[in-house]
């Protein structure tokens, strides 16, 4: 990963502190590069593919088919193609751009809002899985963004109706597990239905996780994982966020009347499925910690399960940084507190930005001298902004900052103050990385 505006960022605040934070961030994101992680997970000797403690004798299969979706799917496909090459029969993977990787077709899709292009690719994938037999191996490449990028609504619900439902939930600040509980029950592929369609073929899923605690059912809405939730659970999510009267009638009708539940834990179809997580937020955090120790910082990984309202989490993290400056607890200066996960933003204003910029902006209002905060979405995209996140310190907080925070306009604020971290799409997605660095005032 390369930070495009590094010099601009180093022109504000303490240059050495910011330089270290940006180097640590780059190291963390590079550690979860999908190409590297897939290559490390696979081993091929003669015709035997080994992965996740399981072996696949490719000579025993008539076809090796590749499907999938997500922001990391192209890099994953490149690694898989390098390992298997002509052993791959055919494939379709939904990605942000068109193209091909060997025999794997990259079908253009959209994110964060599902579009007709993605649905065309999803239907192609659906047909491929339905035609698979017991003598076929289906390799599924799954990464963050896959839910939006592989839309395939159930009969009776249009793509636009499904998109509106997801958008309503996002604007109400629904957590990713709540959002996916609904999306799984409006899809022909999610909630384990891709595995159901491919049965009795063998299915191997290689997964880059962007979800807190790595629950398989939530990563891209669980294309090849059992669905532990029910239609009643999906209705409960809509009720919790006061959306029963706002979602399209077709969605409510389907959730209330559908009779065939998504496949559940213990279903025989999962006897032929192997799910392997090849990259996660925790891997990125460990890489950040190793890099920080190498340049002389005391470190603490706080959690890889960070959740909650972004502005509240920001203030809590600033308190930890302040505590280190004031009392050298829980670790002494110079110190780096590392966290990861995915916060949420309840949108009330009309501004630009996302959870990472809002977290940092909120943290600044209480920040002591000598503390710098950084938050970054590992996909390089933060909400409605062109940046992946932001960096700031006490000097970044200006008198009019509360107005920007109230309007959910954190990206505009950091654009003015020189704190936006711009990388463009990184090709990976394992959630967010938050760094709080504390050092003595010079």
Say if residue 431 is in the same domain as residue 296: yes
Say if residue 78 is in the same domain as residue 23: no
Could you check whether the bond before residue 82 is cis, i.e. omega within 30 degrees of 0? no
Q: What is the rounded CA–CA span in Å between residue 379 and residue 394?
A: 27
Residue 314 lies in a domain: yes
Q: What is the rounded CA–CA span in Å between residue 203 and residue 197?
A: 11
Kindly report, residue by residue over 351-375, the tens digit of the pLDDT.
Answer: 999 999 999 999 999 899 999 999 9
Compute and round to an integer the Cα radius of gyration of the chain. 22
Of all helices (H) and strands (E), which one includes residue 84?
helix 73-84
Global pTM value: 0.89
Tell me the average pLDDT across 132-140. Answer: 98
Say if residue 332 is in the same domain as residue 357: yes
Say if residue 362 is in the same domain as residue 347: yes
Kindly report, residue by residue over 61-102, the tens digit of the pLDDT.
Answer: 999 999 999 999 999 999 999 999 999 999 999 999 999 999
Tell me the average pLDDT across 126-140. Answer: 98
- Nearest partner of 342 among 170, 183, 212, judged by Cα: 212
Q: What is the rounded CA–CA span in Å between residue 127 and residue 334?
A: 56
Residue 237 lies in a domain: no
- Nearest partner of 111 among 95, 91, 92, 93, judged by Cα: 95
Say if residue 311 is in the same domain as residue 219: no
User: What residues contact residue 301 under an 8 Å CB cut-off, 6+ apart?
Assistant: 285, 286, 289, 338, 339
Number of domains in the chain: 2
Q: What is the rounded CA–CA span in Å between residue 208 and residue 32?
A: 8
Compute the mean pLDDT over every residue in the chain, rounded to the nearest whole number.
Answer: 95
pLDDT band at residue 111 using 50, 70 and 90 as cut-offs: confident
Say if residue 94 is in the same domain as residue 25: no
The pLDDT value recorded for residue 441 is: 53
pLDDT tops 90 at residue 38: yes
Domain span at residue 147? 34-152+187-227+262-279
- Helices 73-84 and 34-41, packing angle to 10 deg: 40
Residue 252 lies in a domain: no
Say if residue 218 is in the same domain as residue 143: yes
Q: What is the rounded CA–CA span in Å between residue 388 and residue 9?
A: 13
User: By percentage, how much of the chain surpasses pLDDT 90?
Assistant: 92
- Nearest partner of 382 among 403, 409, 404, judged by Cα: 409
The pLDDT value recorded for residue 439 is: 87
Say if residue 85 is in the same domain as residue 110: yes
Tell me the average pLDDT across 203-231. Answer: 95
Length of the chain: 442
Of all helices (H) and strands (E), which one includes residue 180?
helix 176-184
Say if residue 17 is in the same domain as residue 76: no
CB atoms within 10 A of CB 219: 28
Residue 357 lies in a domain: yes
Question: In the beta sheet, which residues pair with residue 207?
Answer: 142, 277
The pLDDT value recorded for residue 442 is: 40
Kindly report, residue by residue over 242-290, the tens digit of the pLDDT.
Answer: 999 999 999 999 999 998 999 999 999 999 999 999 999 999 999 999 9
* 365: CATH: 3.40.1480.10
Say if residue 305 is in the same domain as residue 221: no
Say if residue 54 is in the same domain as residue 201: yes
Residue 69 contacts residue 93 (beta carbons within 8 Å): yes
pLDDT tops 80 at residue 176: no
* 110: CATH: 3.40.50.10180
Residue 345 contacts residue 354 (beta carbons within 8 Å): yes
Say if residue 274 is in the same domain as residue 398: no
């Amino acid at each position: 990963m390369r930070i495009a505006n590094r010099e601009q960022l180093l022109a504000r605040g303490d240059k050495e502190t910011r330089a270290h934070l940006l180097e640590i961030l780059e190291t963390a994101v590079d550690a979860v590069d999908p190409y590297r992680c897939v290559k490390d997970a696979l081993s091929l000797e003669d015709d035997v593919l080994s992965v996740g403690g399981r072996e696949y004798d490719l000579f025993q299969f008539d076809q090796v088919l590749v499907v999938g979706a997500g922001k990391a799917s192209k890099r994953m496909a490149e690694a898989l193609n390098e390992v298997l090459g002509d052993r791959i029969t055919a494939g379709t993977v939904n990605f942000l751009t068109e193209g091909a990787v060997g025999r794997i077709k990259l079908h253009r899709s959209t994110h964060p809002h599902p579009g007709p292009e993605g649905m065309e690719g999803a239907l192609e994938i659906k047909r491929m899985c339905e035609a698979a037999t017991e003598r076929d191996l289906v390799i599924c490449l799954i990464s963050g963004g896959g839910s939006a990028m592989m839309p395939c609504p159930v009969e009776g619900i249009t793509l636009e109706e499904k998109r509106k439902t997801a958008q309503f939930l996002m604007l109400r600040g629904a957590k990713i597990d709540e959002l996916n509980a609904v999306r799984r029950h409006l899809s022909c592929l999610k909630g384990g239905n891709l595995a159901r369609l491919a049965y009795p073929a063998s299915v191997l899923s290689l997964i880059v996780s962007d979800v807190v605690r790595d629950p398989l059912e939530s990563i891209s809405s669980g294309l090849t994982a059992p669905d532990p939730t029910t239609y009643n659970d999906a209705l409960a999510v809509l009720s919790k966020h006061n959306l029963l009267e706002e979602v399209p009638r077709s969605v409510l009708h389907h959730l209330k009347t559908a009779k065939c539940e998504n496949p559940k834990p213990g279903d025989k179809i999962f006897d032929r499925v192997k799910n392997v997580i090849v990259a996660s937020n925790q891997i990125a955090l460990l890489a950040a910690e190793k890099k920080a120790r190498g340049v002389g910082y005391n470190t603490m990984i706080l959690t890889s399960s960070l959740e909650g309202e972004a502005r509240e989490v920001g203030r809590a993290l600033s308190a930890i940084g302040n505590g280190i400056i004031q009392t050298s607890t829980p670790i002494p200066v110079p110190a780096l507190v590392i966290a990861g996960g995915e916060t949420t933003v309840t949108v009330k204003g009309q501004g630009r930005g996302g959870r990472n910029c809002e977290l940092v902006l909120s943290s600044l209002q209480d920040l002591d001298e000598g503390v710098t905060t950084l938050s970054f979405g590992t996909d390089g995209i933060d909400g409605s902004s062109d940046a992946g996140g932001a960096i700031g310190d006490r000097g970044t907080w200006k008198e009019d900052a509360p107005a920007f925070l109230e309007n959910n306009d954190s990206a505009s604020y950091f654009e003015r103050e020189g704190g936006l971290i711009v990388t463009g799409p990184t090709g990976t997605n394992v959630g967010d990385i938050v760094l709080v660095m504390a050092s003595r005032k010079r």
